[in-house]
Amino acid sequence: MTTEEKYVAAAYLVVFVAVLVYVLIIAAKLTRLERDVEELARLALARREERSEDREGVGVG
């Protein structure tokens, strides 16, 4: 492999690695967002259960 070929390969590698790192960052963010959605869904369910318990606790008459 000549020096010129090595530099050309390096230039393309830099672009490829940059795109790969970007995709990895987006993937990590997506994982965090999924975790957040699950946490919020749990929170919303807990709220609904709290409300239904409150409603049952209130006596009629």
Classified as helix, coil or strand, 25 is helix
Q: Can residue 15 be called a binding residue for another protein (CB under 8 A)?
A: yes
Q: Can residue 11 be called a binding residue for another protein (CB under 8 A)?
A: yes
DSSP 58: S
In terms of CB distance, is 29 or 59 closer to another protein?
29
Q: What is d(CA 25, CA 17) in angstroms, rounded to the nearest whole number?
A: 12
Query: According to CB under 8 A, which one of 43, 49, 50, 52 is a site residue for another protein?
Result: 43
Query: According to CB under 8 A, which one of 24, 37, 49, 52 is a site residue for another protein?
Result: 37
Q: Can residue 8 be called a binding residue for another protein (CB under 8 A)?
A: yes
Give the pair of three-digit tokens for residue 45.
């369910």
